[in-house]
Amino acid sequence: MDDTSSVGIVNTQSFTFAESPNELPLECGRNFGPITLAYETYGKLSPAKDNAILILHALSGDAHAAGFNHPHERHPGWWDIMIGPGKAFDTSQYFVICSNVIGGCKGSTGPSSINPQTGKPYALSFPMVTIHDMVNAQRALIDHLGIDQLLCVVGGSMGGMQVLQWVVSYPERVRLAIPIATTSKLSSQSIAFNEVGRQAIQSDPHWKEGEFYGKPIPRRGLAIARMIGHITYLSEKSMHQKFGRKLQDKAEYGYDFRADFQVESYLRYKGDHFVDRFDANSYLYISKAMDYFDLAQPYGSIEQAFANVKAKFLVISFSSDWLFPSHQSKEIVSACRRVGAEAIYTEIQTDYGHDAFLLESEQLTSLITNFLTHGRKEAS
């Protein structure tokens, strides 16, 4: 708490909108509301309201990106290494916003939320949502905060998808864009991994077609889904360096189905820990939203999608990321340049795999600090 680079104690706030008769139109064809978004802010909005940065989270993230929600919290927000005084998103200069997505389970309206018409959780009566819907909801929040134009939108993985959707849907409202370790559409391999995770949840006997609230939750299925997902976030080299074939608390094989290897124990821990903080139905909905994302589809090509984009891009990928490999980031950069949009591209050499955007703070800080500094000077 005495760390001068920390934003310190922060409060998660909420914004409710889309109340009848002004529900939010969704891509699935339904109008939906009311909607609550949980969000946090760090730093101060300038008098000219020209220093706002919107942070967009990945599948399992939330609004708590930095600092601590209470003095006894053991771990800071999920991107604390990047947000705070003197960090990449320097809160002595910038007003940083992080919003939880619609469909989530950490304060935003999602399948675990109470349906005001029934007094019960939505469960599977919650509508299917898309990345586009998430961005439209965030736009309502930015309007509520009185910000006409964001200095920057930034995010990794699913957060990067939201960055791309922001600059396409609201080109006049974004000056700088930083999509990290992302893609303009999921590959069939990525969709396949998501589907296996969803099947693990739906096969759990406690899932009960999503109607498990107030009852035993589908812990085993959600834990397995997280284990599957977590494997895709790592690289083969990082797993070898961290675990190899080392045994867990034993000198020889147990010749049974308990966790012999450290990597087995690690994945089980990750799965069990995830269950305590995430809703199984939200996992289904958000992973499906990622599957549906295809930036080019409504326009015919990614170039046409970027045709009216005004933002300048810093696109970052990681050499060992096999979930969203570098060639997918290069496709984004090439499309930008073909339509005259300014795009800088950097591939960071790392063994961390897809998770590198949460870990490679030194290189990311250097790249992002320079990009923001130059981008802000050019606009002034």
Catalytic (active site) residue 321: yes
CA distance 321 to 30: 36
What's 179's DSSP letter? E
Report how far apart, in Å, the C-alpha atoms of 185 and of each of 73, 164, 254 are: 36, 10, 43
What's 251's DSSP letter? S
Peptide bond into 34 cis (omega under 30): yes
Report how far apart, in Å, the C-alpha atoms of 20 and of each of 114, 201, 254 are: 16, 33, 61
* Pair 315, 343: CB distance under 8 Å: yes
Report how far apart, in Å, the C-alpha atoms of 115 and of each of 23, 126, 286, 365 are: 14, 9, 19, 42
Buried b (16+ CB within 10 A) or exposed e, 292-326: bbbbbeeeeebbebbbebebbbbbbbbebbebbbb
Annotated catalytic residue within 108, 320, 354, 355: 354
* 98 bridge partner residues: 40, 55
Catalytic (active site) residue 366: no
Annotated catalytic residue within 90, 321, 326, 329: 321
Question: Among 319, 323, 320, 155, which Cα is nearest to 233's?
Answer: 323
Sorted by sequence, the CB contacts under 8 Å of residue 255 that are 6+ apart come out as none
* Pair 244, 331: CB distance under 8 Å: no
Annotated catalytic residue within 99, 108, 113, 157: 157
CA distance 380 to 375: 9
Catalytic (active site) residue 90: no
- Active centre residues (catalytic): 157, 321, 354
